[in-house]
Amino acid sequence: MRIFSYEELDELGEGLIRQYLGKEAERTCCVDIEGFVTDFLKLPLLYRSFAEEDSDKIGFIADGVTPLRVYEGGTVVRRVYPRGTIVIERCLRQEHESGRRRFTISHECAHYIMDRAVPSAAFHREFDGERAYTQEDFKNLFSFRETQVDRVGAALLMPRFMVRNVVSMYGCTDRIPVYGDSVLRTADKLRIKQMANAMGVSFSAFLIRLRELGCLCYRPLVEYITEEMGLGQDGGAG
């Protein structure tokens, strides 16, 4: 598999979404990722109840050979779907799962885009910090290929031009400060949540995308403690 730079992946994702949206691109805040699948990529998109032993598997793109275990009429069956078919776990259709559903779909789109010539069966899995993963699990979860696919998936849901338009719309003229590794001011956290909602993604996914695009400014944690909390301004205990 060819190695792409992050810049190339962002440009690829942005170009695809611009081509899909056409003249509406600059006026759009939230990508219709299901429409992108069916109308632009011309791929089947199905929702099924997965019966895989690994409950982390919530998305699948078929290669026409590898079976997917699903429930049909209360029975587990091994179903082989036509190559390029995207299958999403049915429970993600619930309204509160919108962000996770959209990101899973975009991830499977990215697999198809990155492996256009010969699509291979691939699962989208969620990482569970409390689960004991095998070495092979880590290899699959964090392979460079998956890193590239995740980047394209993010670029499809949150293309650079769209993120910047939304950031501007919400009055963020400067980079958003992050203190230490992860501390945000309450007002900035609320604004990020509003922007994420406008784009139809989760708070965490949008925050990661802001970091990828250089929209965050990392500052020492001590600045938050002294300037935002008003503590430790005398230089320590007396």
Residue 178's pLDDT is 96
Domain locations along the chain:
1-157, 160-238
pLDDT at 145 > cutoff 80: no
Dihedral of the alpha carbons of 78, 80, 85, 88, in degrees to the nearest 10: 0
What is the tens place of the pLDDT at every residue in 10-59? 999 999 999 999 999 999 999 999 999 999 999 999 999 999 988 889 99
Instruction: Report the pLDDT averaged over residues 62-76.
Output: 94
pLDDT for 171-208, tens place per residue?
A: 888 899 999 999 999 999 999 999 999 999 999 999 99
Interior/surface letters 110-129, b for 16+ CB within 10 angstroms, e for the rest: bbbbbbeeebebbbbbeeee
Q: Where are the beta strands (DSSP E) in the chain?
A: 45-48, 57-61, 68-72, 75-79, 86-89, 122-125, 176-179, 216-219
What is the rounded average pLDDT of the residues 200-222? 95
Cβ atoms 124, 57 nearer than 8 A:
yes
